[in-house]
Amino acid sequence: MRRLFTAIIVCLGIVAGMLSACGSVRSSDPASRTVEKYLEVLVAKDSSRLASLSCADWESTAITELDSFQAVKTRLEELACQTTGTEGGITLVTCKGKILATYDNEDQEIDLSVRTYHVG
């Protein structure tokens, strides 16, 4: 199972690298780019792609996060993620930027720097 997840992460990194020819790519390392794609898919409210970017243990939490944005308009601002280290075979990724959630013409900012993402 761990090999499969590692293979998925590597494939996502390769795809991110190929996409760089088509447009701007924020990060060059696979773990950071995976987290950026996760956040992009989250604000796009794409549940199937969100599930594919989540490990089995995180999938229900990812769907819960997605559900919390259903009644609001969402967008990312100033997103930039970077690998900050490793911990027992897990890559640690932190991000800067924010998610803006708009409801009834009022923006709520969600600071992305308060969470460390674990990519395995």
- How many Å separate Cα 83 from the centre of its chain? 13
* For the chain, domain boundaries: 2-119
For CA atoms 32, 36, 41, 47, the dihedral sign is: positive
Cβ atoms 53, 37 nearer than 8 A: yes
pLDDT at 88: 92
C-alpha count within 13 angstroms, C-beta hemisphere, residue 101: 16
Structure tokens at 110: 């969600």
Tens-digit pLDDT string for the chain (120 aa): 334 333 334 333 333 333 333 333 456 799 999 999 999 999 999 999 998 899 899 999 999 999 999 999 999 999 999 999 999 999 999 999 999 999 999 999 999 999 999 998
CATH among 2.40.50, 3.90.1750, 3.10.450, 1.10.287 for 2-119: 3.10.450
Q: What global pTM score does this model have?
A: 0.74
d(CA 8, CA 62): 17
